[in-house]
Amino acid sequence: MPPAVAPTAPAADEFPVFRSGRIGVLLLNLGTPEATDYWSMRRYLKEFLSDRRVIEIPRLIWWPVLNLIVLTKRPGPKGRDYESIWNRERNESPLKTITRSQSEKLAEIIAGGAPEQAARITVDWAMRYGLPDVRSRLQFLQDQGCDRILLVPLYPQYAAATSATACDKAFEALMTMRWQPTIRVAPPYSDEPVYIDALATSLRQALASLDFEPEKILASFHGVPKSYILKGDPYRSQCLRTHALLCEAMGLAPDRLLLTFQSRFGTEEWLTPYTDETVKGLAQSGVKRLAIITPGFSADCLETLEEIGVENRDIFLQNGGERFAAIPCLNDTPEGMAVIAHVVRRELRGWIDI
């Protein structure tokens, strides 16, 4: 019987070197086209409007509408809308500019608060649609040695079409990873005191800077189809909660600080009252001075800068209004960053205290 042969141990350099022990924080926002030309807009709109979380119409009905009508007609006009707000210095949309800045400032806040612990944390950002994409940034964080990652959807109020689809994209990426990092997801913060305080401070500062006093103020949230709420989406109730707390913080009655919903699309009934119809009605009823705040957006984007700042301004002025102000989002201001930093610090507890 031949002697047993001991197995040959693999050489050490045959195995990959794994980095671990770090913590990643990934800010997630909605998305943006890479340019304003027809084909860039078409690619962005196709990804966005193909998402089953966004459009729940059966595919047999929606697919011909999307590909034969929407993606033929909308890229041109939407590209012109984006062109009107485009950050030409960086050649990108404001949403990308602001989200990047939020990520950079969050890293600075973390580093300044607890340098030793912060040395273990990497902060990054990604877009649900467009670039930088979620998959590549998760991989980047893992390559940096992050075996624990906190996902932070930058939506104060939860909706399946925003928070859930951002997480869906992250989970799709995780499905392809042999070594999955441990994941946490930060919850919405629609009634967090730090968020309400930030909104109230921002609104007071904006109103103080105006050379007129608004007769009415609208708190305009992004709309969703009514059917989504009837199916169990908590978005409307969270918007109402934010509005009620903001009215309380500002000492304003709900008929002075009104709640509305914007950005409806298609023929289905969406959440009401509609922002554009409310703006028109107020102007026609004799309101001459109006301001609009958009508490559901963490960063200024097409829906705030163009839809509110241009379209609704025109509606108001063309129907008898005289003075109009679109109030900026929290963005990367000290108030806005205080909200993001608070959420991140709270959700990292147990992993690391900063």
Span 116-158, pLDDT tens digits: 777 899 999 999 999 999 999 999 999 999 999 999 999 999 9
Residue 12 neighbours by CB under 8 Å, 6+ apart: none
The model's pLDDT over 56-95, given as tens digits with 9 standing for 90+, comes to 999 999 999 999 999 999 999 999 999 999 999 999 999 9
Q: Is 303 annotated as a binding residue?
A: yes
Going by pLDDT thresholds of 50, 70 and 90, the confidence category of residue 12 is low
pLDDT at site 303? 96
The verdict on residue 85 lying in a domain is no
The model's pLDDT over 320-342, given as tens digits with 9 standing for 90+, comes to 999 999 999 999 999 999 999 99
pLDDT of 13 > 90? The answer is no
The verdict on residue 67 lying in a domain is no
Domain count, the chain: 1
C-alpha 64/C-alpha 229 separation (Å) is 26
Instruction: Point out which residues pair with 250 in neighbouring strands.
Output: none
User: Cβ atoms within 10 A of the Cβ of 19, count?
Assistant: 12
The verdict on residue 344 lying in a domain is no
Return the C-alpha torsion angle 62, 64, 70, 73, nearest 10.
-170
Residue 241, domain extent: 193-326
pLDDT at site 353? 80
C-alpha 325/C-alpha 289 separation (Å) is 8
Nearest to 336, CA basis, from 301, 308, 300: 300
The verdict on residue 258 lying in a domain is yes
The verdict on residue 120 lying in a domain is no
Nearest to 79, CA basis, from 32, 126, 132: 32
Q: Residues in the chain, how many?
A: 354
Q: Indicate the average pLDDT of the chain.
A: 93
- Over residues 252-276, the mean pLDDT reads 94
The verdict on residue 247 lying in a domain is yes
Instruction: Point out which residues pair with 326 in neighbouring strands.
Output: 292
Kindly write down the DSSP assignment for every residue of 136-184, as one continuous string: HHHHHHHHTTEEEEEEEE--SS--IIIIIHHHHHHHHHHTT-SSPPEEE
pLDDT at site 3? 55
C-alpha 209/C-alpha 2 separation (Å) is 92
Side-chain-side CA neighbours of 29 within 13 Å: the count stands at 27
Q: Is 243 annotated as a binding residue?
A: no
- The whole model's pTM is what? 0.91
Tokens 């070197």 -> residue: 17
Going by pLDDT thresholds of 50, 70 and 90, the confidence category of residue 41 is very high
Domain with 197 in it: what CATH number? 3.40.50.1400
C-alpha 215/C-alpha 237 separation (Å) is 26
Percent of the chain topping pLDDT 90: 88
* Cβ contact 27:125 at 8 Å: yes
The verdict on residue 301 lying in a domain is yes
Going by pLDDT thresholds of 50, 70 and 90, the confidence category of residue 10 is low
pLDDT at site 346? 96
- Over residues 167-181, the mean pLDDT reads 95
* Cβ contact 303:263 at 8 Å: yes
The verdict on residue 245 lying in a domain is yes
- Over residues 172-197, the mean pLDDT reads 96
pLDDT at site 204? 97
* Cβ contact 194:342 at 8 Å: yes
**DSSP single-letter state for residue 37:** S
pLDDT of 28 > 70? The answer is yes
Query: Which residues in 134-173 are b (16+ Cβ under 10 Å) and which e?
Result: bbebbebbbeebbbbbbbbbbbbbbbbbbbbbbbbbbeeb
C-alpha 196/C-alpha 215 separation (Å) is 22
